[in-house]
Structure 1
């Protein structure tokens, strides 16, 4: 049975990998393992050792604590019992389209990004 912490860490690995535009193969090569192992980590099927999590964090330029952010024991355990893995309410980054939008947003120069943000805020207020 998958442990909720392993599932959460796996999701955070996948989200960060998507955010930086890295494939499973690229991440695997960066940490010296096979891409199938990355797949197992991302689904929570296999636990990530501390040293491997350290290597993954270094490869994706985040500290190890990043992978545990947002984990609240009761919340994740309840969500894992009542909903599919990617449908947790409020987990916008579980959606590939939302991740692609965020990645694209941050690739825009800062002055233009601020204008786009202001436009989005006005449009959401009007909706």
Structure 2
């Protein structure tokens, strides 16, 4: 997959692509709109092949936004979906198979125990939660 496609369809100018071990981490904490999440997930699902995971953290304090995001994730979800934060739990209604971690400690422990290999991990949201702290565990 081309870097230009990722930069123009999956993440914004603030996003990053990080190659780490055998994994590719596509990271953008600037998204706070449902339409941004939907466009990113559509492109991620259509263009990325192989093992995929989504880690989505709180976008804002708006419960309704997270309910809408839950519907979008259900439509475009990769094999593995992980939610992190307090408000994002609203998205679980539409994603009963998703993993949910309200705090960083439990998320870090789970990620440390899970051995990602040859996986594209899309990380969206979480600016206030400093979700980039999970990078060391992927």
Question: What range is the shorter-chain TM-score in?
Answer: 0.3 to 0.5
* Greater helix proportion: 1
* Greater strand proportion: 2
Larger radius of gyration: 1
TM-score by length of 1: 0.35
